[in-house]
């Protein structure tokens, strides 16, 4: 049986990457634990036109745009719930993705100063030596930001910036989104056909 995957959405631009990632994981019948920060909910509203209440997140709001999002597959957690399964190292997962990863979340993960469930779950994945994928989307990068990425990487995280490539025959924005999501899925060892691999026929 495949272990669940933790997905967190925080307050950086690029919510479309998270939604596409969730679509693919759910379509493949993967069990997902989803945690959305209040700032992440605000970004979902602003960028995707979702009516998600940052102060009182309701799972039904996001289920409207996610096919295959049955409660058996998609499990929501309030970002302040330290009793949720992903808060414990004894709960086994296939990995965690923070997508997009805000500068504040990156800083907390890099410094080990967890103040919510997202940061705690990331800390758990680091200490248990499980896959932790951080997807920052920021430019330009300050020295503080770069140092935090270095620190997180040294601790065991995979830094996977939302930087799509153009060599695979881009025809739409969706192709660019799929490029980044494909790289995330590769890190999670999840099979996909989102983009043509270099050297493939």
Q: What number is the average pLDDT over the span 122-147?
A: 97
> Among 100, 96, 166, which residue's Cα sits nearest to residue 137?
100
Angle between the N-to-C axes of helices 15-27 and 38-48, in degrees from 0 to 180, rounded to the nearest 10: 90
For residue 54, pLDDT beyond 70: no
Q: Pick the more confident residue, 32 or 54.
A: 32
Q: Taking the model in full, what pTM does it have?
A: 0.93
Tell me the pLDDT band of 165, cut-offs 50, 70 and 90: confident
CA max distance for the chain: 49
d(CA 176, CA 182): 10
Q: Tell the CATH topology of 5-187.
A: Rossmann fold (3.40.50)
Question: Which of the residue ranges 5-19, 41-55, 139-153, 182-196 would you say has the lowest mean pLDDT?
Answer: 41-55
Q: Would you say residue 88 has pLDDT above 90?
A: yes
What is the mean pLDDT of the segment spanning 158-174?
91
For residue 163, CA distances in Å to 79, 105, 184 come to 27, 19, 12
Domain ranges across the chain: 5-187
Cis peptide upstream of residue 135 (ω within 30 degrees of 0)? no
Tokens 């039904």 map to which residue?
60
Q: Does 62 have pLDDT greater than 90?
A: no
On the question of pLDDT at 97 being above 90, the answer is yes
pLDDT in tens, 6-32: 999 999 999 999 999 999 999 999 999
How far is residue 6's CA from residue 121's CA, in Å, rounded to a whole number? 8
CA gap 83, 132 in Å, rounded = 20
* Closest alpha carbon to 124 in 6, 44, 1, 22: 6
Q: Which residues contact 161 (CB under 8 A, 6 or more apart)?
A: 135, 136, 137
Residue appearing with tokens 């601790």: 155
55 band by pLDDT with thresholds 50, 70 and 90 = low
Q: Kindly indicate the confidence band of residue 52, based on its pLDDT and cuts at 50, 70 and 90.
A: low
Give the torsion sign (CA, 77, 59, 6, 126): negative
């Amino acid at each position: 049986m495949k272990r669940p995957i933790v997905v967190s959405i925080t307050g950086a631009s690029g919510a479309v990457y998270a939604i596409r990632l969730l679509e693919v994981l759910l379509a493949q019948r993967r069990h997902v634990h989803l945690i959305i920060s209040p700032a992440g909910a605000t970004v979902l509203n602003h960028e995707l036109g979702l009516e998600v209440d940052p102060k009182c997140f309701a799972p039904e709001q996001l289920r409207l745009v996610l096919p295959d999002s049955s409660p058996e597959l998609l499990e929501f957690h309030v970002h302040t719930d330290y009793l949720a399964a992903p808060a414990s190292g004894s709960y086994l997962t296939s990995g965690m993705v923070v997508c997009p990863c805000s500068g504040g979340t990156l800083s907390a993960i890099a410094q080990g100063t967890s103040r919510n469930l997202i940061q705690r779950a990331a800390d758990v994945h680091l200490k248990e030596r499980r896959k932790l994928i951080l997807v920052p989307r920021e430019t330009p990068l300050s020295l503080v930001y770069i140092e935090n990425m270095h620190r997180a990487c040294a601790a065991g995280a995979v830094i996977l910036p939302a930087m799509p490539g153009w060599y695979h025959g881009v025809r739409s924005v969706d192709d660019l989104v799929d490029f980044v999501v494909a790289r995330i899925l590769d890190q999670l060892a999840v099979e996909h056909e989102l983009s043509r691999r270099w050297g493939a026929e």
